[in-house]
Chain A
Amino acid sequence: DTAVSQTPKYLVTQMGNDKSIKCEQNLGHDTMYWYKQDSKKFLKIMFSYNNKELIINETVPNRFSPKSPDKAHLNLHINSLELGDSAVYFCASSQASSGANVLTFGAGSRLTVL
């Protein structure tokens, strides 16, 4: 039973296309995140949703639009893809009320923009 699952695992697409990555967690957590890991393995937060409400938006271009239909899902839609968007995108979740900020990460979605 995967705790945080992301689909697709691999995504190869052309510049200018629009694509989505889906994330689901079955941990009952109230907070979900998207992190981006670039080619140098540097990890940086993009978005965070708590109970479906956007609480962190780290100066990400508005071509990136997260959507949280319910507490268990956080999808990432990317418009007009650029070469620089190539990265591994990690979804994560946590229970904010626990106070310890312990995140559970998914396995990642590797996006390659050609």
Chain B
Amino acid sequence: AQSVTQLGSHVSVSEGALVLLRCNYSSSVPPYLFWYVQYPNQGLQLLLKYTSAATLVKGINGFEAEFKKSETSFHLTKPSAHMSDAAEYFCAVSVLPSYGKLTFGQGTILTVHP
């Protein structure tokens, strides 16, 4: 079975600072990895996905993540935080043929200070 651990339930940064949200996964077979963002009272929106192609994945809103098999990590970064990035971020893993059975991490709430 696969699992996801997100280190840090809360991350706080200043506007313009680097955003780093950590995600480690466990899977016995090659995984697919995802980052989703959830704004207050809204559903989850896909930020980016890794599906065994390039290890550095670029997503929407300037976010990117790098798949590191040796570290079993898929950390999410953004060079410069914007106030609108404040939300909760979920890392998720799935393996084929899982028909969309995503296993989610606990979520990280990102706060951006002016």
Residues on B with C-beta less than 8 A from A106 are 43
Interface size classification for chain B: 20 to 34
Q: Would B43 and A55 count as touching, CB distance under 8 A? A: no
Does B88 reach chain A (CB closer than 8 Å)? Answer: yes
Q: Which residues of A contact B104 (CB under 8 A)?
A: 42-44
Min Cβ gap B58→A in Å is 15
What 0/1 pattern do residues 78 to 114 of A give for CB contact below 8 A with B?
A: 0000000000001010101001111111111000000
Which residue on chain A has the smallest CB distance to residue B36?
A105
Contact B43 A45 (CB under 8 A): no
Contact with B along A39-55 (1 / 0, CB 8 A): 01111110010100001
The residues of B that contact A107 with a CB separation of less than 8 Å are 41-43
A interface SS class: strand
* B101–A43 CB distance below 8 A: no
B106 at the interface (CB under 8 A from A): yes
B49: chain A residues within 8 A (beta carbon): 100, 102
- Known pairs A33-B100, A41-B88, A41-B107 / 4 extra A-B pairs, C-beta < 8 Å: A42-B106, A43-B90, A101-B34, A108-B42
